[in-house]
Amino acid sequence: MARTNVAHAAQPAQRPVEPSAPLWPASHIEQRALAALVPYARNARAHSDAQIAQIAASMREWGWTSPILVDETDRIIAGHGRVMAGLKLGLTDVPVIVARGWSESKIRAYIIADNRLAENASWDEDMLRLELADLRIEGFDLGLMGFDAGDLASLFDTSDGSGTENEYSRKIETPVYSPKGDRPALADLSDTGKTLALVAAISASSVSDDEKLFLISAAARHTVFDYRRIAEYYCHANEEMQTLMEASALVIIDFDKAIEGGFIGMTEQLADLCPEPGSGEDDDE
């Protein structure tokens, strides 16, 4: 029996069904009145006045960088400290993200997890020490990051655990500066854009001349230095320029002198907290 050929219409290729992307709370940011946000009554995380002041200071420096997490009734899930700091600063509207469809138990569990999981992290203290030292050299206020004098004294403690003080400078090898290329242009050693804009604004203001001088001297803190290029420039500079660059803490040659000058994050306050051995201070304790 002859086989009959049956023509079949070509069927379009079937695309695999892609799972829909989860709708995260952070997928959509909204603005809400700060005063309308309701604290969670059983929040187990305590915020001291000192910590709220620290958060408020960081907001003045960096602005509002992390939205408040709320439920669908504007009850706060994460961000109680930021809300308290915002109220302290007199803010009115803040960014929020909303946890939609969360059960009551899921909300309560996350309130605890949000705080506890962060506590489980740890610091690489050597890297932290380097970062804070660099930021201190650049004139940044370390207090804005939540470190007080006691924290810094502990972090930069030079004790080796045996009761013998080892100078911080002895733990670091003095860098060797050698040319790696052509001498960079002076204009490439720093970014003064923010500083110059601020100086212009200060000069055009109506404050007194004394106030202008004070603000202009403070504006220099916003200059950002390129230390890699500065090191290259130093290699090509004459002896007088190198000496002045060292005195300005643009390069570090003698760590003992650098510490004395406060250029490795060691302020006079820290020096008072960590007296030199044999100085007679605290010998009776």
pLDDT at 119 > cutoff 90: no
Report the share of the chain in percent with pLDDT over 70. Answer: 73
More confident residue, 159 or 116: 116
What was the pLDDT predicted at 81?
Answer: 94
263-273 pLDDT tens trace: 444 444 444 44
Return d(Cα 200, Cα 196) in angstroms, integer: 6
20-57 pLDDT tens trace: 556 788 889 999 999 999 999 998 988 888 899 999 99
Helix (H) or strand (E) holding 78: strand 76-78
More confident residue, 59 or 276: 59
Q: Which of 97-101, 184-188, 200-204, 259-263 has the lowest mean pLDDT?
A: 259-263
**Mean pLDDT value across residues 57-74:** 93
122-132 pLDDT tens trace: 888 888 888 88
**Mean pLDDT value across residues 202-226:** 89
More confident residue, 91 or 235: 91
What was the pLDDT predicted at 269?
Answer: 43
Strand partners of residue 165: 159
Instruction: Name, in order, each residue with C-beta under 8 angstroms of 232's C-beta and a sequence gap of 6 or more.
Output: 179, 180, 181, 183, 184
Q: Which of 112, 116, 39 is nearest to 76 (CA)?
A: 39
Name the pLDDT band for 149 (thresholds 50, 70, 90): confident
Q: Which of 45, 85, 47, 36 is nearest to 65 (CA)?
A: 85
**Mean pLDDT value across residues 120-146:** 85
Return d(Cα 141, Cα 207) in angstroms, integer: 25
CA distances from 95 to 6, 75, 92, 233, 234 (A): 64, 14, 11, 45, 46
What was the pLDDT predicted at 253?
Answer: 59
The mean pLDDT of the chain is: 78
CB 241 within 8 Å of CB 177: no
Indicate the DSSP class of residue 165: B
pLDDT at 239 > cutoff 80: yes
**Tokens representing residue 66 in the block:** 């992390």
